[in-house]
Structure formats: C-alpha cells, structure tokens
Amino acid sequence: MVSCRLSDGGMSRFNAKTPMATIGFSSALITALRLLLGAIFIISGSEKLLDLKFFGLVIAEYQILPPLFIPAVAILVTLCELLCGTMLLVDLFSRISASIMLGMMAIFIAAMTNNVIRGLEHDCGCFEFLAQWYGLKEEIGIGPIVRDILFFILLLPIALLGSNRIPWKKRQG
Amino acid sequence: MSKKPLRRTLVASLLLLSSFSPAVSQHDAAASTALAKEDAGELNLSAAKALFDSRSACFVDARSEYAYYTSHIKGAISLSESRFDEQFPDFRQKKSIETLIVVYCVGINCPKARHVAEKLKKNGYRNVKVFSGGLAEWSHAGFPMEG
C-alpha cells in the first residue's frame, strides 16, 4: 500500500493507486460514512447520557462485568460514543475515532453473542429512544448483532482511509 | 319450641358485631378472603390488590432491574431473576422470613416470578405468592404504579 503522509491527512491516498482506491472507495463515500456514523453515535451517546443509571442497569444485565466497574463503564462508553461521534462528524482525528468505535463494536458484538448463546433475554442498551418514542423493543438478538456488524464494516473504510487531520492546522498551512 | 328465631338472633348479633369491630377492617377482611381462596395457587388481580390495600404483603418485582427502574408496582422491591444472587443479601436484611411476599413479573406468560418465588422458598421464605397477571394486568387496571 502506498504511504503518502501529506498535509491533507491521507486524502491523497485516494488519488494514489492504492488497493482501496481501486475498489471504489472515494473521499465522498468516506465523508458520507463519517457523517452518518458520527450522527448515529452522537444520538446513541446523548440518550445514554440523559439516563446513565438506566444504562448502567442494562450493562449489569449482561452479567459480564463486576458490579464495581459498571458505573465507570457506563460513563466511559457514553463519553466514547459522544466524543468519537463528534470527531467523526467534524472530521477531527477520524481514523483514531473510527478505530476506537471499531473496538467498541467488536466488544458489543462479542457481549451480545455471548448472552444470546447463554440464552439470556434483556435489553440491548443500544438505542433506547426507539423503545421510548416508537415502542420498539431493543432486546439482544440477531437483529442488534447484525446491525453492529454492519456498523463495524462501515467503520472500516474510515479507520483505514480516513484522515487524522486537524482542520485549523490545515487552514494555517 | 322453634329454632328459627334463635338462628335469626344469632346471625343478626354476628352481623352487628362484625360491623362494629374495629380490629377487622374492610381491607383486612378482603385480603384474608382472597388469601383463603388462593391459598395453594397463584394470586389473581383482585387478590393481589386486596393484599396491596391491606399493606400486609411485600411486593417483589422479578423482572430485570432496568425494567423495574422504568416502572413498577408502587412500593415494590426489585429482586430480579437474572441477578437474584447479587440482590438477595440486601433483600434478606430488609425482609424477615415471615413476611408475606407477592412476586410478579411482566404478565401471565412470564416465568420469572415463579422462578424467583421458588428461590425465595429455598431460602427459607414460607409465605410466598405469585401474582400471575403481573405488571401488564396491574397497569391495565389502573392500579398504583411508580418509577
């Protein structure tokens, strides 16, 4: 893979004959993915922030973490979603943000799969507003797992080809 | 001598006594009747409501804690099936084994209430009943809720 560390923060990779470029990943597609996923993570993080206690109780239901760590993990996950979502939206350290979200998606997929295999039935803790606004139950199962796998796949191009640029530095240059 | 006047006098005096007795309130009477009817089985809505009104029973929510946090029967305590072992020590400190306990979950098809009731019985609680209609029936009837 051609490595071009230029001031545009990696966008020149699309102009170079990289394998990803050849399979059709344009900067417009990366931007669209960034905006879409950024908005989704901000919505998800915001609703968790509004009721951290509820989110903590849902995490407890996964029966994976010791109770002592649950409040801290609830705050950490919420802040990660909010910060990474915002950074994806404004294209600030997009690659790092996408990589962090990739890691989180992997953990979510593993946790949900583990509990589905164990036969547990409980809330997913993903998009609670769907239940509150539209009455859709967000329980763990194939649906949320497939959705998180889709998010994982959509995050990959940003993590691999997105930029780590700092917009105000570019303007100065 | 006819026995009819004697019987009438006895019934009338019993009715008079029961209507003036301060020890037996209407709620207690309804609760004891409901309990007698449902002694071996599960409680229906009216029996559960009678116990709720008499304040003689502790209502236990067997659903997940987050579901309890969202809404539950007024005054109920959370003792979820999934996290029973974590929650039980605290419950044991609050409620003695003689306490009359009414366990409920979502509705009639929810097995969690029965599972929690069995666990409570294994842990020494003798007076454990299951309100099979659960929260669905309770809220549909417009009975007190909180959360």
B96-106: pLDDT as tens digits:
999 999 999 99
Task: Tell me the shortest Cα–Cα distance from A60 to chain B, in angstroms.
Answer: 8
Interface test with B, best of A57, A68, A129 (most B CBs within 10 A): A57
Q: Side chain identity at A80, as an amino acid letter?
A: C
Q: pLDDT band for B64, please (50, 70, 90 cuts).
A: very high
Burial A98-112 (b: 16+ CB within 10 A, else e): bbbbbebbeebbebb
- A77 Cβ contact list (under 8 Å, min separation 6): A48, A55, A59, A104
CB contact (8 A) between residue B65 and residue A57 = yes
In this predicted structure, the answer to whether residue A130 has a pLDDT above a threshold of 90 is no
From the list A53, A54, A120, the residue facing B82 with the nearest CB is A120
Q: pLDDT band for A121, please (50, 70, 90 cuts).
A: confident
Q: pLDDT band for A1, please (50, 70, 90 cuts).
A: very low
- State the pLDDT at residue B23: 43
CB contact (8 A) between residue A63 and residue B83 = yes
- State the pLDDT at residue A14: 46
Interface test with A, best of B61, B63, B66, B85 (most A CBs within 10 A): B66
- B66 Cβ contact list (under 8 Å, min separation 6): A54, A57, A58, A60, A61, A122, A123
The conformational region for residue B95 under phi > 0 = left, psi -120 to 50 = alpha, else beta, is: beta
List chain B residues with CB under 8 Å of A60.
Answer: 65-66, 83
B→A contacts (Cβ < 8 Å), by residue, are 64-67, 69-70, 82-83, 86
Helices and strands, counts by H and E, chain B: 7, 6
Nearest CA in chain A to B82: A61
**Percentage of chain A exceeding pLDDT 90:** 60
In this predicted structure, the answer to whether residue A7 has a pLDDT above a threshold of 70 is no
From the list A53, A61, A67, the residue facing B64 with the nearest CB is A61
- State the pLDDT at residue B108: 87
Task: Tell me the shortest Cα–Cα distance from B21 to chain A, in angstroms.
Answer: 48
Task: Tell me the shortest Cα–Cα distance from A108 to chain B, in angstroms.
Answer: 18
- B87 Cβ contact list (under 8 Å, min separation 6): B65, B78, B79, B80
CB contact (8 A) between residue B83 and residue A53 = no
Task: Tell me the shortest Cα–Cα distance from B108 to chain A, in angstroms.
Answer: 17
Alpha carbons within 13 angstroms on the beta-carbon side of residue B115 total 15
From the list A53, A67, A122, the residue facing B64 with the nearest CB is A122
ipTM field:
0.73
Question: By mean pLDDT, which of A53-67, A89-103, B5-19, B54-68 is the weakest?
Answer: B5-19
Q: pLDDT band for B59, please (50, 70, 90 cuts).
A: very high
Mean pLDDT confidence for B113-136: 94
Rounded Cα distance between A128 and B28, Å, is 42
- State the pLDDT at residue B12: 53
Q: What is the pLDDT of residues B16-44, one digit of tens each?
A: 444 444 444 555 555 555 555 455 458 99
A97 and A80 Cβ atoms separated by less than 8 Å = no
Q: pLDDT band for B147, please (50, 70, 90 cuts).
A: confident
Determine how β-strand B77-78 pairs with β-strand B145-146. unpaired
Nearest CA in chain B to A57: B66
**Closest among A11, A46, A55 to A157, alpha carbons compared:** A11
Cα dihedral A56→B70→A130→A138 (10° resolution): 60
CA distances from A147 to A46, A103, A106, A112, A140 (A): 19, 15, 12, 12, 11
Mean pLDDT confidence for A52-81: 94
| Other C-beta atoms lying within 10 Å of the C-beta of residue A173 | 7
- A108 Cβ contact list (under 8 Å, min separation 6): A126, A148
In this predicted structure, the answer to whether residue A24 has a pLDDT above a threshold of 80 is no
List chain A residues with CB under 8 Å of B83.
Answer: 60-61, 63
Mean pLDDT confidence for B86-91: 94
Question: Could you give all domains of chain B from N- to C-terminal order, each with its CATH number?
Answer: 22-146 (3.40.250.10)
- A46 Cβ contact list (under 8 Å, min separation 6): A82
- State the pLDDT at residue A127: 83
Mean pLDDT confidence for A62-88: 95
Q: Determine which helix (DSSP H) or strand (DSSP E) holds B130, and give its type and residue range.
A: strand B128-130
Q: What is the pLDDT of residues A84-114, one digit of tens each?
A: 999 999 999 999 999 999 999 999 999 999 9
- State the pLDDT at residue A26: 81
- State the pLDDT at residue B19: 46
Phi and psi for B88 in degrees, rounded to 5?
Answer: -60, -45
Task: Tell me the shortest Cα–Cα distance from A57 to chain B, in angstroms.
Answer: 5
Alpha carbons within 13 angstroms on the beta-carbon side of residue A106 total 8
Q: pLDDT band for A22, please (50, 70, 90 cuts).
A: very low
> If you count residue pairs, one on A and one on B, with CB atoms under 8 Å apart, how many are there?
27
